[in-house]
């Protein structure tokens, strides 16, 4: 089975047709239907249990290695069992979600081409995102509406996808299963704002990150639930959903995040233009940006660096050549979308 998965991973058109638009959607909806009603993150519990079990078994194995009286077969048996477990998890992961890394994806569905954008296109995109950030921030401050509750977060993100579906039916999202992560503050030291658990179908959201980033993070993880494994595509689909929302806080979160991606890309090719645009940022958005930077500095840790290194390697092994930097490739999708559709 594992060998079969490896072989079919090269058939991108067939994966798109028979897996991403065939087998995967009902599998994912079934998982969300069965486990979405559980009032806590089963995925977090599962990962915590597995981690503790691995540590326990590792301790027993080391003890067996240093204790006289055990045969060579008895010492090697845990390695054999671990290999079998890894193989089973590999098959489950790719059957229930991982093959989406090898689909044609949004490029095929919307007829877009993500190419390296010229400086002029990046400047235009950054300016547009800046305008939308300033506009939505001003509205939120004028209404004194600056904090999104957990209940509103879940309702607004679901409503955003329902509205997006009317424009792009293939982005239909059913069987809601988005849950606050149980790891909480610990997740900040690990360095995650949210994650999708392919073993349970749940989208986990770290509610301990700055509130203004949560709406976009939620829509991003819901995009993973739809089968967009690529981080740049999940960013793009999440942005489309959040920007289609009628909730201004949801819109602000999306534009704020996309402004940062576009601005960072622009700074690499035209630092003067990037500096000039950053000066035009709304004072309220500047405060949010300063708070986000301070938050990231506060929780920067060796554990986070190790996690980032591991995840970067993981992404590179799954068709995302730029690893962690692939998140920023969303700017290419945004520019290609604007050129074809004219508006978000």
Tell me what the mean pLDDT of segment 217-231 comes to: 96
**The model's pTM:** 0.92
Say whether pLDDT at 78 is over 80. Answer: no
- For residue 81 the two structure tokens come to 């069992």
Say whether pLDDT at 7 is over 70. Answer: no
- For residue 34 the two structure tokens come to 């069965």
Least confident of 15-24, 46-55, 95-104: 46-55
* Backbone angle region of 172, left / alpha / beta, with phi > 0 → left and psi within -120 to 50 → alpha: beta
Say whether pLDDT at 1 is over 80. Answer: no
Q: Is the CB of residue 10 less than 8 Å from the CB of residue 102?
A: yes
The confidence band for 184, taking pLDDT boundaries of 50, 70 and 90, is confident
For the CA atoms of the chain, what is the radius of gyration?
22
The confidence band for 198, taking pLDDT boundaries of 50, 70 and 90, is very high
Say whether pLDDT at 210 is over 90. Answer: yes
pLDDT tens string 243-277: 999 999 999 999 999 999 999 999 999 999 999 99
Contacts of 261 (CB under 8 A, 6+ apart): 235, 327, 328, 330, 331
SS3 176: coil
- For residue 55 the two structure tokens come to 């540590």
The confidence band for 3, taking pLDDT boundaries of 50, 70 and 90, is low
Q: Is the CB of residue 288 less than 8 Å from the CB of residue 212?
A: yes
The confidence band for 315, taking pLDDT boundaries of 50, 70 and 90, is confident
Say whether pLDDT at 193 is over 90. Answer: yes
Task: Identify the CA nearest to 259 among candidates 234, 219, 289.
Answer: 289
Task: Identify the CA nearest to 129 among candidates 242, 270, 211.
Answer: 242
């Amino acid at each position: 089975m594992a060998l079969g998965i490896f072989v079919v991973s090269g058939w991108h058109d067939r994966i798109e047709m028979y897996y991403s638009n065939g087998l995967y959607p009902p599998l994912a909806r079934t998982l969300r239907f069965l486990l979405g009603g559980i009032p806590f993150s089963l995925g977090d519990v599962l990962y915590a249990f597995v981690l503790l079990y691995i540590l326990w078994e590792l301790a027993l194995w080391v003890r067996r290695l240093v204790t006289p009286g055990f045969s060579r077969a008895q010492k090697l048996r845990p390695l054999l069992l671990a290999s079998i477990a890894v193989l089973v998890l590999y098959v489950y992961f790719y059957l229930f979600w991982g093959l989406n890394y090898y689909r044609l994806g949004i490029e095929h569905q919307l007829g877009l081409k993500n190419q390296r954008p010229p400086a002029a296109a990046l400047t235009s995109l950054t300016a547009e995102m800046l305008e939308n950030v300033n506009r939505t921030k001003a509205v939120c401050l004028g209404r004194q509406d600056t904090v999104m509750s957990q209940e509103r977060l879940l309702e607004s993100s679901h409503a955003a996808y329902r509205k997006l579906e009317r424009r792009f039916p293939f982005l239909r999202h059913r069987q809601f299963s988005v849950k606050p992560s149980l790891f909480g503050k610990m997740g900040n030291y690990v360095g995650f704002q949210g994650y999708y658990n392919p073993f349970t179908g749940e989208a986990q959201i770290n509610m301990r990150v700055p509130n203004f980033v949560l709406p976009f993070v939620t829509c991003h993880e819901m995009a993973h639930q739809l089968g967009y494994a690529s981080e740049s595509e999940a960013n793009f689909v999440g942005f489309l959903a959040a920007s289609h929302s009628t909730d201004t806080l949801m819109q602000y979160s999306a534009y704020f995040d996309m402004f940062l991606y576009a601005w960072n890309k622009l700074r690499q090719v035209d630092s003067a233009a990037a500096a000039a645009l950053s000066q035009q940022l709304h004072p309220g958005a500047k405060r949010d940006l300063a708070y986000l930077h301070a938050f990231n500095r506060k929780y920067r840790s060796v554990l986070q660096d190790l996690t980032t290194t591991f995840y970067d390697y993981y992404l590179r092994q799954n068709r995302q050549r730029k690893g962690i930097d692939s998140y920023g490739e969303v700017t290419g999708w945004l520019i290609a979308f604007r050129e074809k559709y004219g508006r978000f």
